[in-house]
Structure 1
Amino acid sequence: MLRQNQRFLTQLYMLADLLVTLIAFLAAYWLKFYSGVLPSINSVPFSTYLLWGTIYSFSAVLVGFYLQFYSPKRRRNFSHEIIKIVQIQLFSFLGLLSLFFITREVHISREFLAIFFALNVIAIATYRYWVKATLSSFRRRGYNKRFVLIVGAGSVGRSFYTNLQLYPELGYEVVGFLDDYQTEHAPEHGDLKPIIGRLDDLKKKLNKNPIDEVIIALPLEAHAKYAEIIETCEQSGVKTLIIPDFFDLLPARPFFDNFAGIPLINVRDVPLDELSNRILKRWFDIAFSIFAIILTSPIMLFIIIGLKLTSPGPILFKQERMGLDRKTFPMYKFRSMHVSTDAVSDTQWTVENDPRRTRFGAFLRRTSLDELPQFFNVLLGHMSVVGPRPERPYFVHQFKEEIPKYMIKHQIRPGITGWAQTNGLRGDTSIQDRIMHDIFYIENWTFLFDIKIIFKTILKGLINKNAY
């Protein structure tokens, strides 16, 4: 029944996408040739535009199938759907342009194509958001439920149940627990659904109750029972999901790899391990740094003059920092303090009202203008525009013993700005919180995430009360 419903919903989504694309096509055609807003000289008949619009629409649906756009999305965030929409429309649009080149179709209005593409992305994203919001509202009110049975009433099963209650919009309802070693929950867990039987009762419960999914939440020592449980579920046509007993050691989105023909769980999947992602990020770093250096060159000239007039010493401050693969590099800043020995600067933490700062240096640090020379570090390959902030080796060796997972940040290039910094974690703030934000960035990197961080830095992150 679930598969039949899913096929029906898939077909419905396909038809809706085609309809929305047709509406976007007609709106773009009217806006370009009949609204009077834009020049409307047209030497190509409407039928030709309609033909190419139809080809584009069906190709977008096919690309959507390839990118699994029509798979179930109950557990997916809408941001994931937005990314898929942009990818599908972009690939389809590039394919359409390729067909124009092959068929030598040179008279189609480029303005029309740009309007059509933009309207199509906006229209599909809008109606998909409306559908998702409507379904979430229905599920909160008890409709469109999916029923779950949890096998294992220990800490893992209880944690899953507790977390599931935080997301009523997903529409999952727990029928109960199965467990061999207890018949009811301890008094402190009295608000959980009841234990309704033993593991041997699984087949009977599946036949008696409308269960859609079985969650296996057993400890490692019960591993021998997994095969029988999965076979029983599959005989009943019920989906099975396993929560590993060591789930707290895994990232939010664990990645399954294959090594020597054996499936492996990659404990830390880093998107930037992919060569294509690294190339994209590196080319963007180079282009953005060159642009930033050119744009801020008058400001840097002003800072150089200000430093020369306000305090003796060099213009640049060079300090050893630890970066990618735990390798050290010299990081450049405009000098904001009185000249001191390396022993002091490398081992002493900057504090509020630090007496080592110059008056002009305090202004540079508060406005983050002292960081501008780090764009040269980016060009040299030491750093990225966005990434975890690099730290001095003295403090790295200290923090790696005190802060769990601290060294994970060195799996990618450090950055001028980062997810932690745009969330106010600069200066004398929690190292633990910074690392949690850095790990989130490492595990969830996308090009659009970098753009978001850069915009947040420009809009709200340049002046920070913790930057001293």
Structure 2
Amino acid sequence: MLRNSFSTFQKLIDAVFCTLFFLLSYWIRFEYLQGGQEGLEFTFIKMTPVLVISTLYAFHKNGLYRAQRFTSKFYEILSVVRGNIAGIIGFVIVLYFFGDERLSRLTILIYGAVSTLGFIIIRLLVRNFLRTIREKGYNLRHVLLIGNSNQLVEYVHTARHFKDSGIKFLGWIDSQGIAKEHDVPEIEISYDEYKKSNTPDAIVMSYAGVDSAKSQDFIKTHYNDVVPIQILPDLSYSMVGHQVEDFGGIPILGVNQPSLNPIELFLKRVFEFTATLIGLLIISPLMLLISIAVKLSSPGPIFYGQERVGHDGRTFKMWKFRSMKMADDDTDKKEWSNKENPRKTKVGDFLRRTSLDELPQLWNVLVGDMSLVGPRPEQPYFVEKFRHEIPGYMLKHKMKPGITGWAQVNGWRGDTSLHKRIECDIYYIKHWSFWFDIKILFLTFFKGFINKNAY
């Protein structure tokens, strides 16, 4: 009962608190800041339902009334912020078209701050409440697994990763031995026998390879059952995730397109641009000293620009402090990085070991060619070579290249295993989030700059 009515209950809570936040904003504006005003303006009373409806609609469009069992706390907070801003914008548009400008703009601004903070706190309290009651055995979702694909294994791992999801596995039919490996009860009978005495909340099904036709047969047989059936397509060949689009009612599955959150991508860009700008100002004296040292170390320019392959295969010029003597021909320029390169200068050797030669790439971040965090870019010559030798190599270009990355903080840099680096890059893209970037930046400061494989 709680599971079926919770969305309505959440809307009621939001409507009540939306009104209270608006009332509080009015009080702050006219009672606290202005020193008192008799009674409430009729405009305020008249427009409150408009604000409530606009907010609830915006929250609905941002998915805040769907089940949040597999939604991270961070993403839910972002959805609240985005939904609340959209609700306020809708409210202001209605005010404008009704030609009613008597409602204080300052009141609306105060409401924006109060309500955003308030709704975030409410959502966090609701999450804690749901976690508590689920730990006591309420509001659980009892799921029956059917099939033998790795997608079901991932589903189990994901459900257990989100500890407050409330997913309880009743058992696993036709797992072909997988169930025992993942601590899910193996059910030896068919679903037709099982359903005579059991009613799960949902069936999650996925078959791999030649067994995939079993899913279609099951749906044809049990389509009219009251138990919801969910199919997990076998995407074992999809290395970086997938995207689902609706094309006039036809679902289209993109198998080599990572599902990247646009809000977090925007946050990533804003954060990196701001951090880079501040960082360049702070380290400018250091960069000046390095420039002088490079110039004195050997003839040639201070900076070295090399063509690299970036996001979606586009090329750009990546900048570094020059760490070697100038190459005599293009063959030398295409050589793979190695520790014993005779062209390295003493200054260059130090810069490479400390990764200080990478500092000019902050300019690449500033202009948008690179990110602070991402897969390291390679020269076009090596990209063309590796794309035919290493499965999944080109998938690293699904995101902007970075100054540092998951491979680098795990020690895979310089003349180390290229396969391991690609494995780390694909893991990064598949599991990317704004907070994953922050984690990598912290790890870079602690162990990424000075590394035994840096040269």
Indicate the residue corresponding to 2:34 in structure 1: 40
Q: Does 1:465 pair with 2:453? A: no
Q: Does 1:239 pair with 2:228? A: yes
Q: 1:266 to 1:111 in 2, by over 3 A?
A: same
Shift of 1:266: 1.2
Q: Does 1:88 pair with 2:83? A: yes
Match of 1:16 among 9, 13, 16: 13
Indicate the residue corresponding to 1:315 in structure 2: 302
Match of 1:214 among 170, 185, 203: 203
Q: Is residue 242–residue 255 contact of structure 2 (8 Å, CA) maintained in 1?
A: yes
Could you tell me how far apart the structure 2 residues matched to 1:102 and 1:288 are?
37
What's the TM-score, normalizing by structure 1? 0.75
CA-based RMSD of the aligned residues comes to 4.6
Matching of residues 157-196 of structure 1 within 5 Å: 164=159, 168-179=163-174, 185=177, 189=181, 192-196=184-188
Indicate the residue corresponding to 1:248 in structure 2: 236
Structure 2: unaligned runs, 5 residues or longer = none
Equivalent AA in structure 1 for residue 201 of structure 2: D
Percentage of pairs with the same residue: 29
Equivalent AA in structure 2 for residue 254 of structure 1: H
Equivalent AA in structure 1 for residue 53 of structure 2: F
Could you tell me how far apart the structure 1 residues matched to 2:38 and 2:383 are?
65
Matching of residues 69-108 of structure 1 within 5 Å: 69-103=64-98, 108=103
Matching of residues 12-411 of structure 1 within 5 Å: 12-35=9-32, 39-40=33-34, 46-47=40-41, 48-103=43-98, 108-152=103-147, 164=159, 168-179=163-174, 185=177, 189=181, 192-198=184-190, 202-244=191-233, 246-250=234-238, 253-257=241-245, 263-270=251-258, 295=281, 298-299=284-285, 300-301=287-288, 303-341=290-328, 342-351=330-339, 356-359=344-347, 362-363=350-351, 366=354, 368=356, 370-372=358-360, 375=363, 379=367, 382-383=369-370, 387-397=374-384, 399-400=386-387, 403-411=390-398
Matching of residues 407-426 of structure 1 within 5 Å: 407-416=394-403
Shift of 1:397: 4.7
Shift of 1:115: 3.2
Q: Is residue 293–residue 375 contact of structure 1 (8 Å, CA) maintained in 2?
A: no
Could you tell me how far apart the structure 1 residues matched to 2:168 and 2:414 are?
45
Shift of 1:238: 0.8
Structure 1: unaligned runs, 5 residues or longer = none
| Number of equivalent positions | 449
Deviates more, 1:423-432 or 1:262-271: 423-432
Could you tell me how far apart the structure 2 residues matched to 1:129 and 1:325 are?
38
Equivalent AA in structure 1 for residue 321 of structure 2: F
- CA distances 1:319-340 after superposition (whole Å, capped 9, x unpaired): 2322244354432222234444
SS class of match (2:77): helix
Equivalent AA in structure 2 for residue 86 of structure 1: V
- CA distances 1:369-420 after superposition (whole Å, capped 9, x unpaired): 64325525864x6545664321124543554456542211223443445566
Q: Is residue 17–residue 61 contact of structure 1 (8 Å, CA) maintained in 2?
A: yes
Q: 1:207 to 1:255 in 2, by over 3 A?
A: farther
Q: 1:358 to 1:116 in 2, by over 3 A?
A: farther
Could you tell me how far apart the structure 2 residues matched to 1:122 and 1:50 are?
23
Could you tell me how far apart the structure 2 residues matched to 1:224 and 1:443 are?
28
Q: 1:82 to 1:310 in 2, by over 3 A?
A: same
Could you tell me how far apart the structure 2 residues matched to 1:155 and 1:277 are?
28
Equivalent AA in structure 1 for residue 449 of structure 2: N
Q: 1:297 to 1:145 in 2, by over 3 A?
A: closer
Shift of 1:8: 1.6
Q: Is residue 387–residue 418 contact of structure 1 (8 Å, CA) maintained in 2?
A: yes
Shift of 1:60: 0.7
Shift of 1:88: 0.6
Could you tell me how far apart the structure 1 residues matched to 2:53 and 2:165 are?
31
Could you tell me how far apart the structure 1 residues matched to 2:258 and 2:403 are?
20
What's the TM-score, normalizing by structure 2? 0.77
Q: Is residue 272–residue 412 contact of structure 1 (8 Å, CA) maintained in 2?
A: no
SS class of match (1:390): coil
Q: Is residue 373–residue 440 contact of structure 2 (8 Å, CA) maintained in 1?
A: no
Q: 1:350 to 1:20 in 2, by over 3 A?
A: farther
